[in-house]
Amino acid sequence: MKYITIKDIAKQLNTSVSTVSRAFNDKADINPETKALVLKTAKALGYRPNPIAKKLMQQRSFTIGIIVPEFINAFFPEVIIGVQEILFEKGYQLLITQSSECYETELKNCKTLEDSMVDGLIVSISSETKNMEYYQNLIDSGFPIVLFNRVNNQLNCSKIVFNDYKWALFATEHLIQQGYTRIVHLKGNESISLTNERMRGFIDAHQKHKIHFDKNQIIPTGFTLADGQQAAQKIIDSGNIPDAIFAANDPVAIGAMQIFKKNGYAIPKDIAFVGFTESQMATIIEPQLTSVAQPAKQIGIEAAKILLEQIENAEEFKPKTITLNGELNIRSSSVRK
């Protein structure tokens, strides 16, 4: 099928290309009858504006790139829905990539999106990502970047974060209020700020309630189901079984629950569990998992808004950090009967 151009319309009407262009751009110096005829002819010929040419003229691609660690957890798809809602309203498209919790894949995704001439990036870094040099170089060049959820505070860019400290403290307090005193925290990767904030909330809850705490109650893990399974098996093998476990996220909590149930432990009678991020699996597993719910869609909305603000006001824009709140959904995995 032949792609109709403004030259074809001009030839059909025996007029100049500049006249056709003025009609499309609604210029004041064109006769209304001529404009109406141009638009009618364009429609009859099946003319569609060339989006690439338009983007080149405006020196924008009107495309935003997003990089997430994984799609298994419903949290990240919910964030993407929020991002897309705002971007589509403003005429932007979204290119979505995932790093599979791998730094090298994340870096490749980032370079691919940059080569695709995206106008900005929205990123949640992987659990392996420690080297911030590539991102820092982009930021230094003035390239718009917003980090969300998993951020690195070394980078001077805008961030959309959750109040991880506050809600980790509340989650741990819930376990303490249920009468659990030997609580273990399965924490995530140390290179990500939320890991340390959730750990800090866990520790401070013990101090607030004057409950003995030692460093052996914090066990490093990743963020996956398998990480939770491995950590649980190590705890069981050690023979030092806690009253309760507060996990870095729901997949880790659920993985640990599976292993304890497999080894004959009753939940919450023998050991209680609290997760984080409120995944769909939290209400499917038996017993249902107590979890901290994060406003995933709102995180996406705020990330998109702040990125567009930077794109529109590049010279005056100053990086911002927006902190959002959530709620603790209490279910049977942590409630003593």
The whole-model pTM stands at 0.80
> What are the tens digits of pLDDT across the range 6-37?
888 888 899 888 888 888 877 778 888 888 99
User: Is 230 a residue whose pLDDT tops 90?
Assistant: yes
The confidence score (pLDDT) of residue 52 equals 55
Length of the chain measured in residues: 337
User: If you average pLDDT over every residue of the chain, what do you get?
Assistant: 91
Tell me how far apart the terminal alpha carbons of the chain are, to the nearest angstrom: 71
Q: What percentage of the chain exceeds 90 in pLDDT? A: 70
284: closest CA among 310, 318, 250? 250
Structure tokens at 297: 């869609």
C-beta of residue 232 within 8 angstroms of C-beta of residue 184: no
* 94, β-bridge pairs: 64
User: Is 137 a residue whose pLDDT tops 90?
Assistant: yes
Q: State the number of CA atoms in the 13 A half-sphere of 295 facing the CB.
A: 16
Could you tell me the pLDDT band of residue 71, with boundaries at 50, 70 and 90?
confident
> What are the tens digits of pLDDT across the range 178-209?
999 999 999 988 878 899 999 999 999 999 99
Q: Give the pairing of strands 290-293 and 327-329.
A: antiparallel
184: closest CA among 312, 106, 274, 124? 274
94: closest CA among 308, 318, 317? 308
> What are the tens digits of pLDDT across the range 306-316?
999 999 998 89
The confidence score (pLDDT) of residue 47 equals 82
What are the phi and psi torsion angles at 184 (to 5°)?
A: -105, 140
The confidence score (pLDDT) of residue 53 equals 58
